[in-house]
Structure 1
Amino acid sequence: MKIISFTLLYVFCLLFTGEANAQNTKSVSSPDGHLEVRVAISNGKAQYSVHYQDKVMLENSPLGLVTNEGDFTSNMSFEDASTGKIDKSYTQDKIKTSAVQYQSNTLTYTAKNEEGKQIAYHFQVSDHDIAFRYELPKWGDTRATVVEREVTGFRFPSATSAFLSSMMKPMTGFARTAPSYESGYVTDAALESTTAEFGYVFPGLFKIGENGWVLLSETGVGSNYNGAHLSNFKDGMYTVEYPQMEQNNGFGSTGAQIGLPGFTPWRTITVGKTLQPIVETTIPFDVVEPLYEASQAYQYGKGSWSWIVWQDNSMNYEDQVQYVDLAAAMDFEYILIDAWWDERIGYEKMEKLIDYANSKDVDVFLWYNSNGTTNDAFQTPLNKMNTSIARKKEMKWLKEVGVKGLKVDFFGGDKQETMRLYEDILVDANDHGLMVIFHGTTLPRGWERMYPNFVGSEAVLASEMLIFSQGVREKEAFYASLHPFIRNAVGSMEFGGILLNKFLNRGNKKGQERLTTDSFQLATGVLFQNPVQMFGLTPNNLTDVPEFELDFLRKLPTTWDETVFIDGYPGKYSVLARRSGKHWYIAGVNAENTAKTLKIDLPMLKGQEVSLYNDDKERQPTLQTVKVGKNGELTVTVQSRGGFVITY
């Protein structure tokens, strides 16, 4: 009798628990109905799951924060839920497309902890994108809190493989400036093998077996919060992790201080059956707004840059004149003058150099060391950007002498203190009519839209490592085939490419041999999106590369009205189409060891005669006119470590 009673009680408890969970489970779907998020509280813990076309893309994964005013990770109970819609359009001239229509359905799910303090989970779901964040209301008289950690998780189905770049160990690397988002990638890796000690940077790409693809990232991080990253794979999932204490020489909190009511940044999840939504997503910009107005209309474009190939020894007046002349000959808008200019050229002579550049219709970007106390980077100008007093004094001079932009280097951390420095530099620069590129830096998280004068970040294993590392030169094509699907999918990427020397040094006769073709280099000018591009051309290229390559670079846009995924697989090859006005550029690269013949579908160019920049079997550059089929198909053979560009 007791056994029967116990069994009945057990069944009753199961039914009661199931009914309670069903009552607090809320869902929101995309406008087209294919993408769904379900949110619930189970055993006192908030969780969510993601389904696409009735396939599980993320299994039940945890939600929650720990603050100094309360724990919101356990003993939670459901309070309320509401739904809504968003339909907005905006224009943005610095991202992969210039006009965006964003439509999403929303769910606000409110819960409380055992102390009765509320937290809300805000979800916005568009046809291929999910953005979610936490809202912390004002609790009584409490007006501020510190978010100490986050348990947000991503639990993928077992068939998933990962494409990830590891977080660098703090206070390592050159002059103890790490982390700076300059690691390599693992591709198609089993989740159990992704055990990097310090986790993985955003964004992270995942192949969900045969069900499709997921891209994880975050956006909306400014002075309001810290930058986060993914943990390594443990307990069956990845979680959101905050910066390590060792970053920035141990200065600053690892958490975030926010006023109440307040919001965390957005976590973003892009989902697709194919890679097309991954490449074409605009979610990093859809859910943020400009934080201030541009002080003027900023001009984007291309620039010459001596340091990348000619290095430190080029920091003298005579060599910079050569690079001004190079920029003028190429119809480039800018020259970037890099480290040591203050010591080796000097402020007085720099004014003369700026005047000379302007006489050639070339404007100037100047390099600065961001550092004051957070690492050991020693290049000058130093101690000019890390304090408000020094920064405003320097920027006043920059404006007076006609400098148009800054490249600020060596940040090395994602703490809220560092995010404030990024924002302070941008705000002050805008007040003085200056654009800003960041180098040795973190991922830009919606900054193209948030900050009108932000024009790009490195945050990638970029062109300088092609100069320094044989291993990176050998993997150049491999990395290039990844960036459209991962790093460059969520933010502008200032790579500093287009290297046409056969040897990546001043002599161009022996040494660091370039292993990719000229057509590959031209293709990366299209594949890598950034509104201001500083290219690695050298003065000798004006006479030692084919004229048609130089003409291509003279005409190449740096801003785009539309971006379309054509074909590819990360780590193997990639083909994208970008449109500027009425002109189309279709570019591809091949990272595999043998030539690859592609039949590509170009519906926008049906029956049209187009220019094809490609490599012959001897890997020499060619230019020919070809006709796209009436069905929009064109067959192109791409050499190993080669590339192509189609223009119309």
Structure 2
Amino acid sequence: MFGIKRLMVLILSASGSLLAADQLAVKSPDSKISFHVFTKSDSLFYRISYENGDVIEASPIRMSLDAKAITGKVTIGKADSYQLNEEYPWYGAHSVARSHSNGSKISINSGGLHYTLDVRVFNNGASFRLIVPGKSDVKRIPDESTVFRLPVGTTAWFHDLNMHYEGEYARKNMDTVKAGQWAAPSVTFRLPGSEIYLSVTEADLKNYGGMALQTDGSRGMVLRLPQSQPTSYPFKLRYSAEDVLRLSQPAAVTGTITTPWRVVMIANGLNALVNNDLVHNLCPPPDKKLFPQGIKTDWIQPGAAVWKYLDGGGEGTLETMKEYSRQASELGFKHNILEGFWKKWSDGDLKSLVDYSREKGVHIWLWEHSKNLREAKTRQAFFKHCHELGVSGLKIDFFDHEAKEEIDLYQSILRETAELKIMVDFHGANKPTGQERTWPNELTREAVKGMEASKLKDRAGHNVTLPFTRFATGHAEYTPVHFGERRKNTTWTHQIASAAIFSAPLLTYSASPEHLLTNPAAGMIKSIPSVWDETIVLSGSAIGEAAVYARRSGKSWFLAVMNGAMPRSFEIPLAFLGEGTFGASEVRDVDGNPAAVELGKGNYDKNGTIRLNLAEGGGFIAKFDRP
């Protein structure tokens, strides 16, 4: 168990020093990143610099309460500085997350209203939020239109809000993007002539509406709250016109208003982007009363899952699901996720499946529509019933909106399931905002255009974009690995490699367990973990072109490669292996036959190189072990 070191010093220090009247700079611990706060025409502004240049140019911080601006006609007051330095266990790209930042709580005065701009600057990014005090019985409606202005020549990857968080990323030149385009965070940017990447999103979203971004036609991304956002097609499809109207109204917040953190991740290279802990570092640690060992609490069980939905496998009967649990056990998987057909079963049948599966070391999860969980008494009775039946997890679907009402529902679900030791998988969900640190019973959430998207034509290009966009800010349930038509322009090997790249603590496979077990590469599939001790993004990786990952689990290394839509050659140095000789099990493409794999073995050391010539949507995966 890791000891958490937390240091908070509320004194002025080098982390926040006044430069001149109404100007302040907060620097990262390594002094490479600076968050500058200043006024322009008496309005509140900021900019973020990295080394010798701005990565976010001078941009206004805009907030209003009850339609009255509070960030104009401001003066900057006292700055109370603090430091945070901690590390904690994590389920993600690596097993230990590190958080080291300099912070400053800056007093702002606007027409007699005193509030706080809280800034934290890390070695890998910067963040800020507004804290506006208020009486506990007073409701106010916040709105924001803060801008993130990018430098000339910046490239962006984002998708719109039509399908909520299940869109297809497009590459854009911010110089030519017209005003009014919607972008679902996180948005990844690459600065011109460099390997500097940014990801703009929010963290610790609670008691507030979720943010989207809208282009202003001048290289700016403008923060928009739900009352200004278009309603997604999935929400309009599944909910009434009354629901659409209600959630489009501005939401009031009672008492003190604390906005989510506005986050700019900064990474020198794709490896630094993928290993960036900034989003979850900004969230509180888990409650020890609910999670005595934090993320390592014994009933939190990361692992792979079987899932009867996209790949046949018979009717959704008790007998079929017992066979799924048996096959899950044979695969070494820990979970079996049941879709809505379970509702036709008796409690006796469910209990029978739970008990049988437990004997096999497999947990049972049940799907439920979020609309059935709106009322607290109904929701809590359902959770209690699941707990009494021995159900380990719930897959809760169809949120499709980021209004405060929906965000409040997430919080209620997470707390009430944690009290009953139930794990959660959110589908039809919102972007991750690091809350899985506070609530480690959330093992994954969708918020991605995954294998369920049957009409996706260029799956290869999509797959090699996601690791550096959506996955950069949190886990995602893509439901990887399919050997049928859904894989589109990808090979079987690409599909298997995707399981090692599209990781999530709950790693749900879309292929049926029968097809996984009968695949020639079943041994490799069984060996792929859902969480990792170490991740290295290797050269050859490029957004929309290829993903080349080395990942370590214990003493074993995996090398996973997904190629995009264009044929490409790779020479991959194996320096990550460290000392000694490793025996490798390999899965390769078969030339001319994307629905086949070739198995091989070899011996390698850190001086070795693997050479690949991959066709459209090709792939490679190898596991390296010491003899």
Same fold at TM > 0.5: yes
The alpha carbon displacement at 1:162 in A equals: 0.9
| Correspondence 1:80-479 to 2 at 5 A | 80-92=78-90, 94-113=91-110, 115-138=111-134, 144-168=138-162, 180-193=164-177, 197=181, 199-211=182-194, 212-222=196-206, 224-244=207-227, 247=231, 248-252=243-247, 254-293=249-288, 294=290, 297=298, 298-310=300-312, 314-343=315-344, 345-371=345-371, 383=372, 385-465=373-453, 468-469=454-455, 472=456, 474-479=457-462
CA contact (8 A) 2:164 2:184 kept: no
Aligned residue for 2:374, secondary structure, equals coil
User: Percent identity over the alignment?
Assistant: 24
Partner residue, 2:471: 488
Distance 1:518 1:145, change over 3 A: same
Secondary structure, in 3 states, of the residue corresponding to 2:306? Answer: strand
1:343-392 superposed Cα distances (whole Å, 9 cap, x missing partner): 2x343322333333334332211100111xxxxxxxxxxx2x22221122
The aligned runs of 1:13-52 (5 Å cut-off) are 22-52=20-50
Q: Which residues of 2 match residues 599-614 of structure 1 at below 5 A?
A: 599-600=572-573, 602-605=575-578, 608-609=581-582, 610-614=584-588
- Structure 1 position 315, deviation (Å): 2.6
- 1:196-221 per-position Cα deviation (integer Å, ceiling 9, x unaligned): 65x11110011111142211111101
For 1:518-548, what per-residue CA distance to the aligned partner results, in whole angstroms no more than 9, with x for missing partners? 21111111111210112122254256421xx
Is the contact made by 1:530 and 1:559 (CA closer than 8 Å) also made in structure 2? yes
Instruction: Label 1:592 to 1:252 Cα distance change in 2 as closer, same or farther (>3 A).
Output: closer
1:589 paired with 2:562, answer yes
Q: Please list the CA deviations of residues 52-85 of structure 1 after superposition, one character each: whole Å capped at 9, or x if unmatched.
A: 1202211101113101285223211222234332
SS at match of 2:340: coil
Q: Deviations over 1:445-491 (max 9, x none)?
A: 112101121111000001111xx31xx1x321112111211111111
Match for residue 510 of structure 2 among 506, 511, 536: 536
CA distance in 2 between partners of 1:643 and 1:542 (Å)? 17
Q: Following the alignment from structure 1 to structure 2, what is the Cα–Cα distance between the partners of residues 538 and 359?
A: 21
What is the letter of the counterpart of residue 441 of structure 1?
Answer: A
Once the two structures are superposed, the pairs formed by residues 50-61 of structure 1 within 5 Å of their partners are 50-61=48-59
1:45–1:627 distance in 2 versus 1, CA, 3 Å: farther
Q: Distance in 1 between matches of 2:571 and 2:264?
A: 30
The answer on whether the counterparts of 1:612 and 1:646 sit within 8 Å (CA) in structure 2 is yes
SS in 2 for 1:463: coil
Q: Quickly say closer, same or farther: Cα 1:617–1:253, change in 2 above 3 A.
A: closer
Task: Give the match's secondary structure for 1:192.
Answer: coil
Cα offset, 1:628, TM superposition: 4.1
Determine which structure has more spread, i.e. the larger CA radius of gyration. Answer: 1
**RMSD (Å), alpha carbons:** 2.5
- Structure 2 residue 616 is the aligned partner of structure 1 residue 640: yes
State the TM-score, normalizing by the size of structure 2. 0.87
Aligned 8 A contact 2:481 2:498 in 1:
yes
Question: Is residue 227–residue 247 contact of structure 2 (8 Å, CA) maintained in 1?
Answer: no
Shift of 1:142: 7.4
Equivalent residues of 2:459, 2:488 under 8 A apart: no
Do the aligned partners of 1:253 and 1:415 also contact (CA within 8 Å) in 2? Answer: yes
Q: What CA distance in whole angstroms lies between the structure 2 residues aligned with 1:53 and 1:418?
A: 40
Quote how far apart the aligned CAs of 1:133 are: 0.9
Distance in 2 (CA, whole Å) between partners of 1:624 and 1:602 is: 21
Q: Does the residue aligned with 2:327 lie in a helix, a strand or coil? A: helix
Equivalents in 1 of 2:66, 2:85: separation in Å? Answer: 36
**Residue 146 and residue 587 in structure 1: after superposition, are their counterparts in 2 closer, same or farther (change >3 A)?**
farther
Quick one: distance in 2 between partners of 1:142 and 1:630? Answer: 61
Contact 1:180 1:411 in 2 (8 A): no
Deviation string, structure 1 residues 374-418 (Cα, Å, up to 9, x no partner): xxxxxxxxx2x2222112222222112211100000112101100
Match among 538, 547, 551 for residue 566 of structure 1 = 538
Give the conservation status (yes or no) of the 8 Å contact 1:69–1:145. Answer: no
Contact 1:67/1:146 (8 A) holds in 2: yes
2:171 corresponds to which letter in structure 1?
T
Larger mean Cα displacement after TM superposition, 291-300 or 281-290: 291-300
Matched, 1:497 2:498: no
Q: How many Å separate the matches in 2 of 1:49 and 1:539? A: 51
The answer on whether the counterparts of 1:606 and 1:631 sit within 8 Å (CA) in structure 2 is no
Supply the AA of the counterpart residue of 2:64.
V
1: distance between equivalents of 2:516 and 2:569? 31
CA deviation after TM superposition for structure 1 residue 627, in Å = 4.3
**Distance in structure 1 (CA, Å) of the matches to 2:131 and 2:188:** 27
Report the alpha carbon displacement of residue 144 of structure 1 after superposing the two structures with TM: 4.1
**Residues 1:22 and 1:255: Cα distance change in structure 2 (over 3 Å):** farther
CA distance in 1, matches of 2:192, 2:378: 53
Task: Tell me how far apart the structure 2 counterparts of residues 529 and 628 of structure 1 sit (CA, whole Å).
Answer: 25
Cα contact 1:191–1:233 (8 A) shared by 2? no
Gaps of 5+ in 1: 1-19, 169-178, 372-382, 505-512
Question: Is this contact kept in 2: 1:477–1:641, CA < 8 A?
Answer: yes
- AA aligned to 1:58 is I
Distance 2:102 2:531 in 1: 30
Give the partner amino acid of 1:557: P
- How far did residue 22 of structure 1 move? 4.3
Structure 1 stretches of 4+ with a deviation exceeding 6 A read none
Tell me, in whole angstroms, the C-alpha distance in 2 between the residues paired with 1:432 and 1:194.
49
Give, in whole Å, the separation in 1 of the partners of 2:105 and 2:577.
Answer: 40
Q: Which residue number in structure 2 is paired with residue 509 of structure 1? A: none
Shift of 1:424: 1.0
1:217-256 CA-to-partner distances (Å, cap 9, x unmatched) read 111012x211111113334411111114674522246545
Task: Give the CA deviation at 1:288.
Answer: 1.1
Give the Cα separation in 1 of the matches to 2:67 and 2:77: 19
What CA distance in whole angstroms lies between the structure 1 residues aligned with 2:261 and 2:269?
24
Contact 1:270 1:277 in 2 (8 A): no
- The secondary structure found in structure 1 opposite 2:269 is coil
Equivalent AA in structure 1 for residue 120 of structure 2: Q
Q: Given the alignment of the two structures, is residue 524 of structure 1 paired with residue 503 of structure 2, yes or no? A: no
Contact persistence 2:67–2:143 (CA under 8 A) = no
Residues 1:551 and 2:523 are matched in the alignment:
yes
The superposition leaves residues 77-132 of structure 1 with CA deviations (integer Å, 9 ceiling, x where unpaired) of 2222343322222222x23222123211223332211x211222221111121121
